[in-house]
Amino acid sequence: MEYKPQHPLNHTPRFKPRIIIHGGAGNITPAYLTPDLYKEYRSALLTTISKAHNFMLTPTSSSLPSSLQVSTYAVTLLEENRLFNAGKGAVFTRDGINELEASVMVSSPSTTYPKAGVGVAGLRRVRNPILLAKAILERGEDDLLGRKELDVPSAQGHTLLYGEAAEILAQKYGLEMVDPEYFYTQKRWDEHIRALEREKQGVGVASWSSEEYLPQGTVGAVALDEDGVICVATSTGGLTNKLTGRIGDTPSVGAGFWAEEWTEELTKPGSSNDWRTRPGPAVVLTDALKGLVSDCLPTPFTYSPIAPPWKKVFVTRSFAGSGTGNGDSFWRTAALRTVGAIARFQEQSSAEAVRRVAGPGGILQKSAGDRWKKAGEGEGGIIGIEAILIFDEEGNVIETESAILQNFNCNGMFRAWVDENGAVFTRVWREEDEPDSSYNEGQPEDPRIWCGEKSV
């Protein structure tokens, strides 16, 4: 049962801002990622997450930056780094062209961002595609008003825009435009040529290799702001040697990204779990919701109303996630929307929903069938954040909590995050798959050092 509060909350709940980023997933093995190359990726991830964390906690006027500002800021940093398959480091199509994609979505669109989510694709001249997606989302209220004199060019009510039409908007919005040659890097060109040669010789496909990591993923960031809004931002160059004109999962709502929130009643009068008919704590959670919020509530969790009559208690759950990997597989499974649906309609934690979709043996992997581990199909990972707000029917906030989410089914996923104590972490492999301790996987780091605020 879903519920809309009859009374506004008595005060704006304050969440602790959180962020997690990823830099792609796939066939990332120690043989490919040598210690020296690993250090480059590790440094890039730690620098990005630390700068984003610093930005996230730096007030602008009277408040901290929004989750939209934080997540897109993090992605612009990744787009500027040629190590990652986005922006400057984007891969080539079969025709030797760079075509870029990006998207953003917020968990609580309200009147500020009525479009909720936006995707852009087929970009060849926009330096930072994520900023175009952000700009279209921010202008959604004006675009959706249906004015008699439409401000053309305009995104109007559209959610996904492609190619020249999108680039005209980018110019109008004052975003930085570049010549297509800006996106050329020798490393990506060499990967492009080698893969085409393997395909020509009949020893592989042009978009995946068992011998090296060919980027088929994305970069992404998911951020939670102090108001409880989660935003996902994702950007990519797509699959190595994709067809020119191909649209992947990154700009496609529900495939490569998703965000939403919903409210449920924790107690149902007249049911076997009706806490009003039982002795003990004033709130008794349903079995499903006990598991859902067990990590987010004090133990034992009790809420005692000040005076009868007893109050109903509700939970607002929010989720946002970004996918990376074989985009066509994310498309076929509507991967990120599926995560949200499992969490929402099966009353599972978002962590469990992510595991069921992107974890080993999950929906993504099963979608590849007997082609698994042969051409990159089904490979990928998901990062995300879940937030929980518990309140009573009079709008009194009882509890706010959040959790960082991550899982993948392939050899590795570049990712970094900030824990609840403010330490930053980065990992490529699962803990049990770490090659050796020299890689220094999963060690807590001080973000002030990595963003230049503190000397070593």
Which residues line the annotated binding site for substrate? 246-249, 324-327
Burial of 308 (0-12, 13-18, 19+ CB in 10 A): exposed
Q: Give CA–CA dist 367/196, Å, rounded.
A: 25
Q: Which long-range contacts (CB under 8 A, 24 or more apart) does 5-10 make?
A: 5/263, 5/314, 5/391, 5/393, 5/395, 6/393, 7/393, 7/394, 7/395, 8/395, 9/391, 9/395, 9/396, 9/397, 10/394, 10/395, 10/396, 10/397
Q: Which amino acid is at 205?
A: V
H or E, element range at 20: strand 18-26
Catalytic: 218? yes
Q: Is the peptide bond before 298 cis (omega within 30 degrees of 0)?
A: no
- Roughly how many angstroms between the first and final C-alpha of the chain, as a whole number? 53
DSSP state letter for 266: S
Phi, psi of 166 (to 5 degrees): -70, -40
Burial of 454 (0-12, 13-18, 19+ CB in 10 A): exposed
Closest CA to 13 of 441, 387, 429, 389: 389
Closest CA to 180 of 129, 132, 127: 127
Residue of 47, 48, 159, 218 marked catalytic: 218
Rg (CA), the chain: 22
- Could you tell me where the DSSP H helices lie in 372-438? none
Q: Give CA–CA dist 333/339, Å, rounded.
A: 10
Edge-to-edge strands, sheet with 257-265: 257-265, 313-325, 380-392, 397-408
As annotated, the active-site residues are 218
